[in-house]
Amino acid sequence: MSSQDILLEVKNLHTGFNIDGRVHHAVKDVSFSVKPKEVVCIVGESGCGKSVMSLSVMNLLPKHNGKIDKGEILFEGRDLAPLSEKEMNAIRGKDISMIFQEPMTALNPVLTIGYQLDEVLINHTTISKEEIRRKSVSLLKQVGISRADQIVNEYPHQLSGGMRQRVMIAIAIACQPKLLIADEPTTALDVTVQAQILELIGKIQEEVGMAVLLITHDLGVVAEMADRVVVMYAGQVVEETDVDRLFYEPKHPYTKALLHSIPKMDEKRDVLNTIEGIVPSLKNMPEKGCRFADRCPAAMDVCREVDPLLGETDKGHAVRCFLYEESFPQNSDKRAEVQ
Amino acid sequence: MTKETVKSEHLLQVQELKKYYPVRGGFFRRKVGDVKAVDNISLELKRGETFGLVGESGCGKSTAGRTIMRLFKPTGGKILFEGQDITELRGSGLRDLRKDIQMVFQDPYASLNPKMMVGSIVSEPMINYGMGSESKLKDGVMELLKRVGLPEDAYYKYPHEFSGGQRQRIGIARALALKPKLIIADEPVSALDVSVQSQVLNLLKELQEEFQLTLLFIAHDLSVVKHMSDRIGVMYLGNLVEVADGEDLYKDPKHPYTQALISAIPQPDPRNKSERVILSGDVPSPQNPPTGCPFHPRCPKVMPHCSEVKPQLKEVNRDHRAACLLYE
């Protein structure tokens, strides 16, 4: 694959937090890539490291204790991890933008919607003030806000949750970014509003021609939006494949269990499948072996002794599990990279 | 009390229940309007069934649950529990009622006292109702903790030592302590991860059978409600817009809002991307609800007279009621 086919490539990313003098890795050896105009979903439960991963890409980790320890984040072939704040600012909002879960906390409550929209354009373009305001209004119209001329002069608290998320999207797409990172963009919204926002993200993605990295815990959203899916568990990628194979030929026991534990509308079951136990917390990660082994119905002795690797079982389908021989270190061509 | 003599089929009957909150404004903080959180809802719960109450945020489902529990005083209407009118109960009468109706709350972090041992949390209701001292009740509490799937040493631990799912189990054990007849579960799994959510849902179902509980299950997630409930009521802006058997409601939703709600849920199946009914706009403010049918400004099937006439809940099919002028 030539480098032009890949927009974002995350390679062996390790992001650690310093807690009481010890470094705990919230993201451990995560690798995946996003192609231009592709929608990649990162799915996992709370505490699986999906948000930390996205903050690492944006270089927005909390300065006092969060740090990328190892690995590369290649955006159009350039490593973002060592960039300075100033260099990152030139990329954030222009080439890569982000929308967050809670639109109320992501918008500044004391500035008008118009000001917050203009800000991005002022920072990244050289067009005149009048033109900027005109552009802001047209952006609001593009995200489906009908009274755009008035809304530019209003404040975030005057808008509903769905409208705020639309404003966030307008800000994010202002400079026609190549990559949009959406971290649980619809979790705080009601289902009928969620449907509106998902449709909007899909529409904008086609209009702008950007790639979307969508982070979610909702498998329904994944099925709706994704081209490819990365399943994370306890800071690691456990499975990566296209959306159809994820739902119809899941390989990792965690993915299988996750798919079976959600109640579905179109079927009647008395008992839901469950995954025993809980996601281990950052401080209680198993020292060695597979991080899912304690909850895994198919766990073997080797699972608790050796770290499985993410190995490609079929083309475009990678899994981190000893049920598949590609995960054994001696069989994986990835071994050299990891060491 | 005439508990033994009145043994109707319905454990709980709610008739035209209203709960309004006053809105005050101006210099003298005079009442200038009402927020109609619950506006005229009627429903019945049969013994042993699970009734699901579903709706988006702000639709009044939690207020309805808490008013039925008599945590709030209703503005109007009647609540009958085992045939007895509990709308006006006060003092010791209300205290006796609490023994029969218990609640499981949404937030397992906020609903448990962080300073109390789990054992004390679960035995507190029993002590309050004079069922014995903490030491005497200990074996029973241990048994109960074990039943809800907690380890034995949980008795001596504090809530912060548990995960969200385990805390919800503690909340369930506390609700079961008095052997209630009705449990109102207000969004019991919405704070939990999917893999833990299914554990708690399964537990609730098992316990319901074992303790012969009647369950009022309140949630915003229609697929969870459908999994749990025998019958489902859909709320919109303080009104009950449709009541039907769970399977019926999903296969043949009558009210346009229910239809939109069902189609808005993203299905975990990439090969089944059905055409969505996407509603425009947001839920209006309950302080200033639309005239006529509360759903008419967003309704894809709106008719001219929808803004004038407020539809009542009517039987459309057998055991399937909807409040929509399409079926008048």
Provide the ipTM: 0.81
**Domain boundary at A155, A176, A197, which?**
A176
Distances from the Cα of A51 to the Cα of A109, A243, B103, B220, B233, angstroms: 24, 20, 34, 25, 36
Residue A40 in this model has a pLDDT that exceeds 90: yes
* A271 and A191 both lie in a single domain: yes
Cβ-Cβ contacts under 8 Å for A293 (sequence gap 6 or more): A286, A299, A303, A304
Residue A19 in this model has a pLDDT that exceeds 90: no
Give a yes or no: residue A259 inside a domain: yes
Give a yes or no: residue A89 inside a domain: yes
Helix (H, G, I), strand (E, B) or coil at A89: helix
* A143 and A76 both lie in a single domain: no
- Asked which of A49-53, B5-9, B249-253 is least confident by mean pLDDT, the reply is B5-9
According to DSSP, the β-strands at B50-54 and B214-219 are: parallel
A-B contacts (CB, under 8 Å): 127
Distances from the Cα of B144 to the Cα of A249, A271, B126, B138, angstroms: 40, 21, 12, 10
Mean pLDDT of chain B: 90
> Any alpha helices (H) in chain B, and if so which ranges?
61-68, 91-100, 118-128, 134-147, 164-176, 194-211, 222-228, 246-251, 256-264
Cβ-Cβ contacts under 8 Å for A2 (sequence gap 6 or more): none
Q: Do B193 and A217 touch (CB under 8 A)?
A: yes
- Which residue in A196, A223, A278 is closest to B196 by CB distance? A278
Q: What does the pLDDT read at residue A265?
A: 79
Distances from the Cα of A231 to the Cα of A31, A40, B134, B156, angstroms: 12, 11, 47, 37
Residue B9 in this model has a pLDDT that exceeds 50: yes
Q: Do A259 and B222 touch (CB under 8 A)?
A: no
Confidence of residue B2 (pLDDT cuts 50, 70, 90): very low
Does residue A104 belong to the interface with chain B, where contact is any CB pair within 8 Å? no
- Which residue in B196, B201, B279 is closest to A192 by CB distance? B279
Q: Do A258 and B283 touch (CB under 8 A)?
A: no
Question: What number is the average pLDDT over the span B268-272?
Answer: 85
**B window 87-146, beta carbon within 8 A of A:** none
- Which one, of A213, A230, A234, lies nearest residue A54 by Cα? A213
Q: Which residue has the tokens 């020292």?
A: A287
> Any alpha helices (H) in A35-84, and if so which ranges?
50-58
**Domain boundary at A176, A192, A221, which?**
A176
Whole-angstrom distance, CA of residue A168 vs CA of residue A242: 28
Does residue A190 belong to the interface with chain B, where contact is any CB pair within 8 Å? yes
Give a yes or no: residue A330 inside a domain: yes
Q: Do A190 and B271 touch (CB under 8 A)?
A: no
CB A250 within 8 A of CB B299: no
Token digits of residue B180 = 């209630």
Give a yes or no: residue A126 inside a domain: yes
Residue B7 in this model has a pLDDT that exceeds 80: no
Q: What does the pLDDT read at residue A1?
A: 47
* A188 and A241 both lie in a single domain: yes
**A window 151-170, beta carbon within 8 A of B:** 160-163
Confidence of residue B68 (pLDDT cuts 50, 70, 90): very high
Question: What number is the average pLDDT over the span A54-82?
Answer: 91
Radius of gyration for the alpha carbons in chain A, expressed in angstroms and rounded: 21
The DSSP 8-state label assigned to residue A92 in this structure reads B
- Asked which of A226-240, B152-166, B222-236, B280-294 is least confident by mean pLDDT, the reply is B280-294
A261 CB neighbours in chain B (<8 A) are 194-195, 197-198
pLDDT digits (tens, 9 = 90+) for B149-162: 998 889 999 999 89
Give a yes or no: residue A100 inside a domain: no
Q: Do A274 and B202 touch (CB under 8 A)?
A: yes
Question: What number is the average pLDDT over the span A117-137?
Answer: 93
Q: What does the pLDDT read at residue A57?
A: 93
**Domain boundary at A141, A176, A211, which?**
A176
Strand partners, A47: none
Distances from the Cα of A73 to the Cα of A7, A289, B107, angstroms: 11, 26, 37
A222 CB neighbours in chain B (<8 A) are 268
- Which one, of B158, B139, B195, B200, lies nearest residue B175 by Cα? B200
Residue A54 in this model has a pLDDT that exceeds 80: yes
Residue B267 in this model has a pLDDT that exceeds 50: yes
Q: What does the pLDDT read at residue B258?
A: 95
pLDDT digits (tens, 9 = 90+) for A215-238: 999 999 999 999 999 999 999 999
End-to-end CA distance of chain B: 42
Does residue A196 belong to the interface with chain B, where contact is any CB pair within 8 Å? yes
Does residue A132 belong to the interface with chain B, where contact is any CB pair within 8 Å? no
- Which one, of B127, B122, B192, lies nearest residue B163 by Cα? B192
Residue by residue, DSSP assigns A236-296 as EEEEEEEHHHHHHS--SHHHHHHHHHS--TT---SS-----S-PPPGGG--SSS-TTGGG-
Whole-angstrom distance, CA of residue B115 vs CA of residue A54: 37
* A183 and A46 both lie in a single domain: yes
Q: What does the pLDDT read at residue A320?
A: 94
Q: Do A192 and B260 touch (CB under 8 A)?
A: yes
φ and ψ at A30, to 5 degrees?
Answer: -100, 125
* A182 and A263 both lie in a single domain: yes
Residue B148 in this model has a pLDDT that exceeds 50: yes
Give a yes or no: residue A101 inside a domain: no
Token digits of residue B311 = 């539809």
**A window 12-31, beta carbon within 8 A of B:** none
Angle, nearest 10°, between helix axes A161-173 and A191-208? Answer: 10
Give a yes or no: residue A155 inside a domain: yes
Question: What number is the average pLDDT over the span A78-84?
Answer: 92
How far is Cα of residue A156 from the mean position of the Cα atoms in its chain? 25
Whole-angstrom distance, CA of residue B10 vs CA of residue A321: 52
pLDDT digits (tens, 9 = 90+) for B178-226: 999 999 999 999 888 888 899 999 999 999 999 999 999 999 999 899 9
Report percent pLDDT > 70 for chain A. 96
CB B198 within 8 A of CB A273: yes
Helix (H, G, I), strand (E, B) or coil at B107: coil
A191 CB neighbours in chain B (<8 A) are 56, 220-222, 261, 264-265
- Which residue in B196, B273, B282 is closest to A224 by CB distance? B273
Question: How close, in Å, is residue B294 to chain A by CA atoms?
Answer: 16
Question: How close, in Å, is residue B3 to chain A by CA atoms?
Answer: 32
Residue A191 in this model has a pLDDT that exceeds 70: yes
* A167 and A206 both lie in a single domain: no
State the pTM of this model: 0.86
A160 CB neighbours in chain B (<8 A) are 282
Question: What number is the average pLDDT over the span B40-59?
Answer: 92
Q: Do B264 and A269 touch (CB under 8 A)?
A: no
Q: What does the pLDDT read at residue A101?
A: 84
Question: How close, in Å, is residue B46 to chain A by CA atoms?
Answer: 20
Confidence of residue B122 (pLDDT cuts 50, 70, 90): very high
| Region of residue A245 (phi > 0: left; psi between -120 and 50: alpha; otherwise: beta) | alpha
CB B289 within 8 A of CB B36: yes
Give a yes or no: residue A30 inside a domain: yes
* A181 and A153 both lie in a single domain: no
Report percent pLDDT > 90 for chain B. 68
What b/e readout covers A19-34, taking b as 16+ CB neighbours within 10 angstroms?
Answer: eeeeebbbbbbbbbbb
Question: How close, in Å, is residue B78 to chain A by CA atoms?
Answer: 30
Question: What number is the average pLDDT over the span A318-332?
Answer: 84
* A113 and A198 both lie in a single domain: no
Residue A4 in this model has a pLDDT that exceeds 90: no
Question: What number is the average pLDDT over the span B79-99?
Answer: 91
Token digits of residue A177 = 């970014």
Q: What does the pLDDT read at residue B26?
A: 82
* A90 and A220 both lie in a single domain: yes
Cβ-Cβ contacts under 8 Å for B198 (sequence gap 6 or more): A261, A262, A263, A272, A273, A274, A275
B282 CB neighbours in chain A (<8 A) are 160-163, 193
Total tally of structural domains belonging to chain A: 2
Radius of gyration for the alpha carbons in chain B, expressed in angstroms and rounded: 21
Q: Which residue has the tokens 């060695």?
A: A288
Q: What does the pLDDT read at residue B3?
A: 46
Q: What does the pLDDT read at residue A120?
A: 93
Q: Which of A272, A273, A279, A292 to mutate: most B Cβ within 10 Å?
A: A272
Q: What does the pLDDT read at residue A332?
A: 55
Q: What does the pLDDT read at residue A87?
A: 93
Residue A249 in this model has a pLDDT that exceeds 60: yes
Q: Which of B162, B163, B189, B195 to mutate: most A Cβ within 10 Å?
A: B195
B278 CB neighbours in chain A (<8 A) are 192, 195-196, 199
Mean pLDDT of chain A: 89
Q: Do A194 and B165 touch (CB under 8 A)?
A: no
Percent helix, percent strand, percent coil in chain A, to nearest 5: 40, 25, 40
Give the domain extent around A33: 3-95+177-338
Question: How close, in Å, is residue B237 to chain A by CA atoms?
Answer: 13
* A115 and A229 both lie in a single domain: no
- Which one, of A236, A177, A204, lies nearest residue A42 by Cα? A236
Question: What number is the average pLDDT over the span A287-313?
Answer: 90
* A289 and A320 both lie in a single domain: yes
Chain A residue at shortest CA distance from B259: A192
* A301 and A327 both lie in a single domain: yes
Task: Give me the CATH number covering residue A21.
Answer: 3.40.50.300
CB-CB neighbours of B48 under 10 Å: 14
Token digits of residue B158 = 């504090």
Q: Do A272 and B202 touch (CB under 8 A)?
A: yes
Distances from the Cα of B283 to the Cα of A162, A177, A191, A192, B144, angstroms: 10, 32, 11, 9, 42
